[in-house]
Amino acid sequence: MSPHAASDRLAFVAGVVAAAPGERVLEVGCGAGVLVTEMAVAVGGGRVVAVDRSARMAAATTRRNRAAVDAGRVRVLAAPLLDADLDGERFDAVVAVDVRAFWTPPAPEWDAVAGLLAPGGRVVVGFSVMRPQDRDEVPAAVARLAGRRGLAVTATAEAATLPYPTAAVALRAAVAGR
């Protein structure tokens, strides 16, 4: 694997997100920017915005994605999601991997995400299955917390990645009358 290739777990999450050319993607908790790189390739002429509360991680994301940042296809913000200046942008997809805030109450991040989604937009929350009960508890918590903000689970998936399996919960805005 090249030093710039995504890990199996991030490649799995990227597949669940299934970003398409021209889309706008927000990654919350971007870490070193590996998934940002995957998303930037997938969206082609679209745009990726990466947010991380750690200035160090935001700097690493910027370094890793320098060409895309310089070309204006990737924007990196060092701030918690709730404080990030997103300039009123709307996103076709929002993704977060191993960001406990999305399954730990009170989870105000869901309020922000619900307001950032473009019509028809989707959210993918990925997580490491470190304990057997995580398979049920994390998706249930995500569904409950996101459901309070008008989002409903559309799919769950799991991959046998190492050192722990990786799971993902996909959501969209709930359809009225269903």
CB 162 within 8 A of CB 8: yes
Distances (CA, A) of 90 to 126, 162, 175: 21, 34, 19
Question: Domain 8-173 classified CATH 3.40.50.150?
Answer: yes
**pLDDT by 10s per residue, the chain, length 178:** 445 567 999 999 999 999 999 999 999 999 999 999 999 999 998 999 999 999 999 999 999 999 999 999 999 999 999 999 998 999 999 999 999 999 999 999 999 999 999 999 999 999 999 999 999 999 999 999 999 999 999 999 999 999 999 999 999 997 654 4
- Rounded CA gap, 98 and 104, in Å? 12
Q: What are the sequence ranges of the domains in the chain?
A: 8-173
**pTM summary value:** 0.94
